[in-house]
């Protein structure tokens, strides 16, 4: 699912590093803007709440769904913030 949490902290750290190293500067502005737009969409879906998430993950309990949504929001918000920093440096 596209708006899952990044379950592995190592993978999340790799994504942060890739954004810092490869998505700053004017030459990648369009790629950065595309990713920001996609993250905005995913975050919008996450903020719609548990009911939408439950349709995608009916076998998980309420608490597990809540934790996954909370973690995914935090992670995608952090990635988006990194992209904003890259936007500001151009």
Contacts of 61 (CB under 8 A, 6+ apart): none
Query: Average pLDDT of the chain?
Result: 81
Lowest mean pLDDT among 8-17, 54-63, 70-79: 54-63
Provide the pLDDT for residue 17: 93
Mean pLDDT along residues 24-35: 90
Each domain of the chain, given as residue ranges in start order, spans 9-88
pLDDT in tens, 36-51: 999 999 899 888 877 7
Provide the pLDDT for residue 6: 57
Provide the pLDDT for residue 49: 73
User: Can you read off the two tokens belonging to residue 74?
Assistant: 């935090």
d(CA 33, CA 28) in angstroms, rounded, equals 9
**Residue 63 pLDDT exceeds 80:** no
């Amino acid at each position: 699912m596209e708006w899952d949490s990044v379950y592995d902290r190592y993978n999340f750290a790799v994504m942060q590093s890739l954004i810092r190293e490869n998505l700053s500067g004017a030459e990648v502005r369009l790629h950065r803007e595309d990713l920001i737009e996609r993250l905005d969409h995913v975050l919008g879906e996450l903020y719609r709440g548990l009911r939408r998430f439950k349709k995608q993950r009916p076998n998980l309990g309420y608490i597990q769904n809540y934790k996954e949504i909370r973690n995914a929001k935090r992670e995608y918000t952090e990635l988006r913030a990194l992209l904003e920093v890259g936007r500001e440096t151009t």
